[in-house]
């Protein structure tokens, strides 16, 4: 199992329910490697001090959420230089047309003043992250499915050109809350950019404010509680979030409510209780940065062992000299 998350701003409820929740569950099922992808953050300019701080805070948050360094490997991408090395090779494996079709690139470049080459080749680095570790499964939110498809295509293409080298991975997308929507505009996904502070719930946000935002979530003008994301995105989003926090299916939850008020109140309570222990653990971890640094050093050592083995094989396949 391998997955990654960018240290670009605060972690929001969509990251937690769509991805991190599965990471924690999965770590007991298979060997798991989780990565803070700081190099991916550099596709847009970052303030160095801020990047240093958010990388550390994100690692602490992953531990607070329940990533257990005694069973899973947690590391920072730039600590393992094999990621950039393989990335170049995969840039030479992917086509211009494939990269141009990526919807995340289209969205992010559409109204950007400056579009870096890295924003365009981002999926090659992501594929490198995954393919270095003989990954079978990649737990991600729905928005990453297209990048995973491309990763599979690149693995297959490389294998057929140069001989069996990479495991072809599968995406594992959460069954519920794979796409948590913005509370104020439920037709777009919740994201950590600060365009919609009222529509976004941050994992470390004040819990009273969390409850208030959920109680003020936009729904619709009907008054029927039904799970139907296409026609009732606001109500379905609340049901999905409540389902992720309680483990009850959204359709089943829908049958328990006749009005929006109680659904919002219960969702607010469930999210608050879901976040409370995470915030408490985060506060503890934040007081011991040396402990987290130690976890990351050990994680990078472990990751590098695996990555170096894979790179040795790739170099041999390509006719590059052995090191």
Residue placing its CB nearer to ligand AMP in the complex, 6 or 310? 6
**Annotated active-site residue in 6, 106, 108, 310:** 108
Which phi-psi region, left, alpha or beta, contains residue 23 (left: φ > 0; alpha: ψ -120 to 50)?
A: alpha
DSSP annotation of 142: G
A 10 A CB-CB count for 137 gives 18
We find the least distance from the C-beta atom of residue 147 to ligand TRP, in angstroms, to be: 6
> Is residue 140 a contact residue for ligand AMP (CB under 6 A)?
yes
Residue 62 interacts with ligand TRP (CB under 6 A): yes or no: no
Please list every residue from 19 through 38 that binds ligand TRP, using CB under 6 A: 37
CA 268/CA 23 separation, integer angstroms: 23
The catalytically annotated residue of 189, 213, 232, 310 is: 189
The dihedral region occupied by 177, where left means phi > 0, alpha psi between -120 and 50, and beta the remainder, is left
Count of residues engaged in binding ligand TRP, rule: CB under 6 A: 14
Window contacting ligand AMP (CB under 6 A); options: 55-63, 89-97, 138-146, 229-237: 138-146
Q: Which residue stretch of 78-86, 150-158, 183-191, 298-306 sits at the interface with ligand AMP (rule: CB under 6 A)?
A: 183-191
106 included as an active-site residue: no
CA separation for the pair 181, 14 (Å, rounded): 8
Three-class DSSP category at 214: helix
Q: How far is the CB of 290 from ligand AMP (least distance, A)?
A: 26
User: Coil, helix or strand for 223?
Assistant: coil
Considering the rule CB under 6 A, would residue 16 count as an interface residue with ligand TRP?
A: no
**What strands, in cross-sheet order, belong to the sheet with 32-36?**
2-5, 32-36, 72-76
310 interacts with ligand TRP by CB under 6 A: no
H-helix or E-strand containing 60? helix 48-65
- Show contacts with ligand AMP in window 162-181 (CB under 6 A): 178-180
Which of 1, 6, 63, 234 is close enough to bind ligand TRP by CB under 6 A?
Answer: 6
E-state strands within the chain: 2-5, 32-36, 72-76, 137-140, 170-173
108 is catalytic: yes
For the CB of residue 44, give the shortest distance to ligand AMP in the complex, in Å: 12
Nearest to 87 by CA among 59, 47, 117: 117
Closest by alpha carbon to 177, among 72, 64, 267? 267
Residues 131-150 that bind ligand TRP (CB under 6 A): 138, 140, 144, 147
Cα separation of 227 and 251, whole Å?
A: 6
Q: Under the criterion CB under 6 A, does residue 190 sit at the interface with ligand AMP?
A: yes
Q: Of 61, 78, 119, nearest to 284 (Cα)?
A: 61
14 contacts ligand AMP (rule: CB under 6 A): yes
- What is the footprint of ligand TRP within residues 92-131 (CB under 6 A)? 126, 129-130
Q: Which residues sit at the interface with ligand AMP, rule CB under 6 A?
A: 5-6, 14-15, 18-19, 140-141, 143-144, 178-180, 189-191
Q: Contact residues for ligand TRP (CB under 6 A)?
A: 2-6, 37, 40, 126, 129-130, 138, 140, 144, 147
């Amino acid at each position: 199992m391998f997955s990654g998350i960018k240290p670009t701003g605060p972690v929001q409820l969509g990251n937690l329910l769509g991805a991190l929740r599965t990471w924690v569950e999965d770590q007991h099922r298979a060997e798991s490697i989780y990565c803070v992808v700081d190099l991916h953050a550099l596709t847009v300019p970052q303030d160095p001090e801020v990047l240093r701080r958010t990388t550390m805070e994100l690692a602490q948050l992953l531990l607070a959420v329940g990533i257990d360094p005694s069973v899973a490997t947690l590391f920072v991408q730039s600590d393992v230089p094999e990621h950039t090395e393989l990335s170049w090779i995969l840039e030479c494996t992917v086509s211009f047309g494939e990269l141009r079709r990526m919807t995340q690139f289209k969205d992010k470049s559409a109204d950007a003043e400056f579009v870096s080459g890295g924003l365009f080749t981002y999926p090659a680095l992501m594929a490198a992250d995954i393919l270095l570790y003989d990954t079978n499964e990649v737990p991600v939110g729905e928005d990453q499915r297209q990048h995973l498809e491309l990763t599979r295509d690149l693995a297959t293409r490389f294998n057929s050109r140069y001989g069996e080298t990479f495991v072809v991975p599968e995406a594992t997308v959460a069954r519920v809350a794979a796409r948590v929507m913005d509370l104020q505009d439920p037709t777009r996904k919740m994201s950590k950019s600060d365009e919609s502070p009222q529509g976004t719930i941050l994992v470390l946000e004040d819990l009273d404010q969390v409850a208030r935002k959920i109680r003020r979530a936009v729904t619709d003008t009907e008054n029927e509680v039904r799970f139907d994301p296409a026609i009732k995105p606001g109500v379905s989003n609340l049901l999905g979030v409540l389902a992720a926090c309680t483990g009850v299916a959204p359709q089943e939850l829908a049958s328990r409510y006749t009005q929006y008020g109680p659904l919002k109140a219960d969702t607010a309570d469930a999210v608050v209780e879901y976040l409370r222990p995470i915030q408490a653990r985060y506060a503890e971890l934040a007081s011991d940065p040396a402990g987290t640094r130690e976890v990351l050093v050990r994680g990078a050592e472990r990751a590098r062992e695996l990555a170096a083995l894979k790179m040795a094989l790739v170099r041999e396949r390509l006719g590059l000299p052995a090191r």
